[in-house]
A = this chain, B = another copy of it.
Amino acid sequence: MFNMGDMSKMLEGMQENAEKLKADLASKTFSVKTGGGMVELSVNGNGEVIDLTIDDELMSDKDSLQILLIGAINDANKMVQQNQQQSAMGMLGGMGSNPFGGAS
């Protein structure tokens, strides 16, 4: 059986966990390099850019700059998304004794 009271508590518990997760992610940093380090991009676990540095050499080669930037942004996004999934899975995995926070 499945009733709406359980459902509501479960969703509340999931929301609390999601907020904790977001705070944890904000404290993480991921750095990616493209072009052998000519572009360096650092983001936190929520995907917010913390730092971006571009090598002087790239300032005279816009095509390469654009390509290396796109690569760096996409690589950083992938790392952020993988980490978010792992963190969410870890959250779900740790629910054995008390599945959804308030819903036990």
Contacts and interface: CB of A to CB of B under 8 A. Distances in A.
From A2, A52, A66, A77, residue with most partner B Cβ within 10 Å: A2
A47 B46 CA distance: 12
Copies in the complex: 2
B54 A62 contact: yes
Interface residues of A, number: 26
A48 B80 CA distance: 12
Contacts of A73: 49, 52, 73
A7 to B, nearest CB: 8
Interface in A35-60: 47-49, 52-54, 56, 59-60
A74 interface: yes
A103 B74 CA distance: 36
Nearest to A48: B74
A49 B70 contact: yes
